[in-house]
Amino acid sequence: MIDVRLKDGSVLQVEAGSTVADVAKQISMGLYRNAVGGLVDGAVADLRQPLEHDCALEVLTFADDAGKRVFWHTASHILAQAVQHLYPDTKFAIGPAIDGGFYYDFDLEKPFTTEDLEKIEAEMKKIVKAALPLERFELSPDEARELMKDQPYKLELIAEHAGKGEKISFFKQGDFCDLCAGPHLMDTSKVKAIKLTSSTGAYWRGDSGKAMLCRVYGTAFPKASELEAHLTMLEEAKKRDHRKLGKELKLFALMEEGPGFPFFLPKGMELKNTLIDYWRQIHKEAGYVEISTPMILSRTLWERSGHWDHYKDNMYTTVIDEQDYSIKPMNCPGGMLVYKTQPRSYRDLPLRVGELGLVHRHELSGALHGLMRVRCFTQDDAHIFMTPDQIKDEIKGVVQLIDKVYNLFGFTYNIELSTMPEDHIGDEKDWEVATQGLVSAIEEMGRDYSINEGDGAFYGPKLDFHLVDAIGRTWQCGTIQLDMQMPERFELEYTGEDGQKHRPVMIHRVVFGSIERFIGILIEHFAGAFPLWLAPVQVKIIPISDKFHEQAKALESQLAAAGLKVEGDYRSEKMGYKIREAQMEKIPYMLVLGEKEVESGTVSVRSRKGGDLGAMPVADFIAMAEQQIADKALDE
């Protein structure tokens, strides 16, 4: 018998060799019916996996993120099998699970059309109905090559695995067999609701020098109602797409001359600067000082920080006076140098240093996505230098700051603890101390968190903040990274109360993460209809006719003097057209000015959300708007 420790902390005794599925069945038949996989000692496992020794086990369902990936991975194999049935000459590449679904890359004579996808989807439903079991087996490299002799992409992958001395694993379902490590569902029958969403081109392994393949995207769910809800969310996401709205609202532009380097237009800069002003305000209140460090620094600095060894493939480099330099992908090494510009005492700590630093990171062209994935962005960085006994309070302070910001925009969020990766620097004991520091602080605050094993930064563990937007999507933005390695590498010191030199501990942290990406998230969260305090244009003045232009311009000056962002519409267009266009521009308030309003010293106020609010004295409107801006209210 072996002990299996379950998610709730209880221990179940089972016979050695029992599978994950056997344990699920022993817990409850309901769990067994919904099970899609397991986490065995933190590693994702197949339901068929035997348990040979004492272990921790979490049975996964579709409700778990890891469970979804098992489910969608199986769906990708069903897609490939359907393509094999309908287009037998196809060459198969890879088919992983991704966020929100799956894809499979195919090499075929001509790309799939919408009609082709409908046929493939129908064939997939037949495969699901057949309830084909998925069976795992292994072959030697030579046997694997023989099995896949007509599949060049599989042969390339086999060669890589064979070079590592590994046996090659496969999964078989009916007449389809694929090179795959798994895990997978027990059979195809659970994948009841399927939708192929698009077909596009994709280079083999993301390399523009390699073959262009046909990539088919899809998603799948255990129930039709869940699929329908997901597709509704996707439709809503299309309407909110920040690339579409960014163009329509004249916020930013993406140019062929600078792929991955966004251009901010005047209205976009108003939005960006408002966020930056808010960032500066709350950081000053929280006791931060602000610095600015150079964009280009020497290779020797990046070698000293560890970035050169762990990150150089993502760095842009240059040569100056025959010396190697790099454009900074992070701000932290420059922050280390700033700390060292003068002697520090324990009385100076904690020292909270913020920087809105423009950083550059190389991303593959296929990975670029509007403002969400770019090659240059403004990181709202801060580094906190402290004594060991200040760790807990400083972490709590950052969590409270992040909480304040996310609540302001109406975001809820989840916290994830990422632990030591294989590719790390520093002593494991330091990592244990740093990890426990994060855990102690977050648990004392009564916050729930999940654990992401092995996904910490190379220099320290971290807490990541995944915010949830208006339609339920999650985005990783804020992070708190506790670091004992970089102060050691840069020989940072402070004089302690005992008069001796000591090494400070430091926190790396961001709140927005990338300001550009956060703007993209805000565009989609608010569907471009920003709250009044954030809106690039807060008020649109619409005179009824040309004879009121002079009064409208005087009103425009009055509102601008009060600090409002205002535009006047002086075109010779009909009133209805002007109002509709202002609504399309998602401007919070429209002020209509005609003879009645001029005589009475009022304006007719229309709200983006509330419609016609009637006549209002100008002073009253200004007071109302100023109060909403001061409160940073989400609704006007």
**Which residues are catalytically annotated?**
332, 361, 379, 381, 383, 462, 508
Q: Of the candidates 374, 455, 347, 466, which has an alpha carbon nearest to the alpha carbon of residue 414?
A: 466
**For 601, which DSSP code?**
T
CA distance 205 to 623: 58
Quote the CA–CA distance of 613 and 603 in Å, as a whole number: 10
Cβ neighbours around 49 below 10 Å, total: 19
Cβ atoms within 10 Å, residue 43: 12
CA distances, 60 to each of 31, 32, 52, 101, 394 (Å): 9, 10, 19, 17, 36
- Secondary structure letter of residue 585 according to DSSP: T
Report the distance separating Cα 165 and Cα 221, nearest Å. 37
Strand 450-452 vs strand 412-418: parallel, antiparallel, or unpaired? parallel
C-beta of residue 67 within 8 angstroms of C-beta of residue 74 = no
Which are the contacts of 243, defined by CB distance < 8 A and separation ≥ 6?
254, 370, 371
Joined together, the tokens standing for residue 317 give: 């480099």
Sheet holding 566-568, edge to edge: 566-568, 539-543, 589-593, 602-607, 611-617
- The DSSP result for 225-258, as a single string, is HHHHHHHHHHHHHHHH-HHHHHHHTT-EE--TTS
Residues in the chain, total: 636
N-to-C CA span, the chain: 64
Residues 6+ apart with CB under 8 A from 298: 323, 324, 325, 326
Instruction: Please report, for residues 103, 150, 175, 183, 480, the alpha-carbon distance to residue 134 in angstroms, rounded to integers and kept in the order given.
Output: 19, 22, 11, 10, 42
Q: Is 374 helix (H, G, I), strand (E, B) or coil?
A: coil
Radius of gyration of the chain (CA): 29
Of 565, 471, 480, the C-alpha closest to 521 is 471
Count other C-beta atoms under 10 Å from residue 189's C-beta. Answer: 14
Return the number of other C-beta atoms located less than 10 Å from residue 336's C-beta.
22
Query: Distance between alpha carbon 270 and the CA centroid of its chain, in Å?
Result: 24
In angstroms, what CA-CA distances link 169 with 67, 138, 473?
21, 4, 34
Bridge partners of residue 58, in order along the sequence: 39
